[in-house]
Structures are given as structure tokens and as C-alpha cells.
Structure 1
């Protein structure tokens, strides 16, 4: 996929599937867990769901800097999805933009997990970073590499 080419329906579906992957998993004292998704979070104790807008604007005031990486990564992911979807629907896409947005979203998620992991009795797993990087590598790296080195 060279600049000006487009994503396939499969790539768009794969990007959409990232909504069902927990982007970060925090385990408290080895037993209670919180799963952060692009759309919100799921707590295990007590079992509850909080949407991202509710978390940001209703339940939390004065967020630590590392938590702001969560909505930032979601915005980057939405932009990457929009780029891929428009590439699929309109037939033109720059894979460097879409892949780059996914990589930067993965870095933001890594920052979120790192911030949570520094807290006592909490372990954070950056599942979303791995998933976002895997999709960027699998779907977009060949086209990016080809645009950098056409002989490869």
C-alpha cells in the first residue's frame, strides 16, 4: 500500500476490533482489576462500567498527567480509524499517516500504563499498546517501508 492507496475492509474491521481489546489492565493487590478500553473502563470489584466521557467529566476532577494519555490515545485511534475508513471508502489513504497515528496512540497508552504501574500495590499491563503496534506493523509497515525504500 503506497501513498495514495487505500485500506481494505479487513483492515477497517481489524481497527474496529480494537474497541473490544482492553487497552490497559490494572491489577490491584493481585486480585481486583480494571480494564480500560477505548470507550470506557470496566471494574471487577464492584462490577461496574464507566464510559470515558463520564470518567473525564463526571467522576474525576484534577486528573494526574498520565491519565490524560488515555483520551489522547483514543483521539489518535479515532483519527487512524477515520483515515483507514476514508481510505477504504474513498480509495485514497496515506498509510504513513494511519500507521503513525496508531504508533503514537500506542506510545500514549504505554505512558498511561507506566503511570499506573508506579503506584504501590498496582500492576499495569499495556495490552492496547501491543495491539495498536501489532496492527500498525501488520497492516501499514510494508507500505511505509516501500515508500521509504522502493527497492525493498
Structure 2
């Protein structure tokens, strides 16, 4: 059975490509839509899960700094040998910085953008779950942009930790970027290929 919902598929039930008379959007045929479609709630869970994936993890001796979309979390040994965990939220990091936002390095300016793209992707998937109005091209595109912004943050922070450019590429693993792109390809690959006209 083919899903004929107007905003989720790009074809009429009979499998032909047509223009929606009520909008300027073009509908694209996908004869295997039933097989390619994924469960909306699973997609939402994946998008929400990406919010918890670290952008990267910096190792400095016995100290570990988790760079998340929300800020920094440092795990390090304390004076008495105990493990000390401290947090530095993103909003505080930006407000405490002596430079204005426009004067910050590009990788730092990309940090809130990465968070924003992830949140918008969650919202886009949520429209599909709640109102059946998700545009899968938008969601996939947001995940791609989130990955690009997260990669910029990961490499930029690696440079500031003294990992020079060649070293940073091999040392700083851009976890959030990899996961965002993996979700974009696995969950929204057909929609993204449609954007590219393939």
C-alpha cells in the first residue's frame, strides 16, 4: 500500500509524479515508499538522541573534557584522588567570553548554530509525529547542516587545545558530526537525493 499523504511522499497513489495544485511543491514518485519509510517515532528518538552525543572528547592527561552541544563537562582527578566532575554550560561560556559574539572564532560561533540545527531537526521530525506534516528534505538538510557545524566546533576546539591542524584531524573525533550525517543518510537519504535531482 502506498502512503498518499501530501506532505510525506512525493507521488500520487497511482505512482505518477505531479505538481500539487495547492502549492508550488513538486511531488516525486517513489515506488518503494512503503519499504523506504521509517517509523516516525523511531526517527524522533534518533533526533532527540543526537542531542546527547558529544561533539568530541578532549583528553588531557588524566582529565577528560566532553564537548557537548550544551557546553563543556570536565572529568578530572581531584586533590585527594577523588574524581571531580565540573560543567560549563554553553550560554555561560558565550556570556563570560571577553570578546563579542561576532569577534569570536568561527568554530565558537558555530557552536550555538550546531545546537540550533539539531533542535530544528527535532522540531521538524516532531511535526511528522504530531501533525503528519514533516518535510523530510528539510529534516535531512538540517541534520547535514548540524553535522557541518559540529565538525567546525570539534576541530576548532582541538586547535585551541594545541593539537595543530594535522594532529587535530587524527586526534579529535567529531562524534556529533558523524552521528548526524549517519542519521541523515540512513533515515533521509532518499529525500536528500531528491534535492540533488538524483
The TM-score with structure 1 as length reference comes to: 0.83
Q: Which residue is 1:20 aligned to? A: 52
SS at the partner of 1:42? Answer: strand
Report if aligned partners of 2:118, 2:143 keep a CA contact under 8 Å in 1. Answer: yes
Decide whether aligned partners of structure 1 residues 44 and 5 sit closer, same or farther in structure 2, where only a CA change above 3 A counts: same
Report if aligned partners of 1:3, 1:93 keep a CA contact under 8 Å in 2. Answer: no
Report if aligned partners of 2:140, 2:191 keep a CA contact under 8 Å in 1. Answer: no
How do residues 16-95 of structure 1 correspond to structure 2 at under 5 angstroms?
16-28=48-60, 30-45=61-76, 46-57=84-95, 59-62=96-99, 63-95=104-136
Distance in 2 of aligned mates of 1:102 and 1:144: 11
Q: Which residue is 1:103 aligned to? A: 144
Decide whether aligned partners of structure 1 residues 3 and 56 sit closer, same or farther in structure 2, where only a CA change above 3 A counts: farther
Work out which of the residue numbers 100, 111, 124 in structure 1 matches 2:172: 124
Report if aligned partners of 2:56, 2:175 keep a CA contact under 8 Å in 1. Answer: yes
Q: Which residue is 1:140 aligned to? A: 188
Distance in 1 of aligned mates of 2:134 and 2:6: 6
Structure showing greater radius of gyration is: 2
Q: Give the number of equivalent residue pairs.
A: 147
Bigger proportion of residues as helix: 1
Q: Which residue is 1:5 aligned to? A: 8
> Which fold has the larger relative contact order, with Cα–Cα distance below 8 Å and residues 6 or more apart in sequence?
1
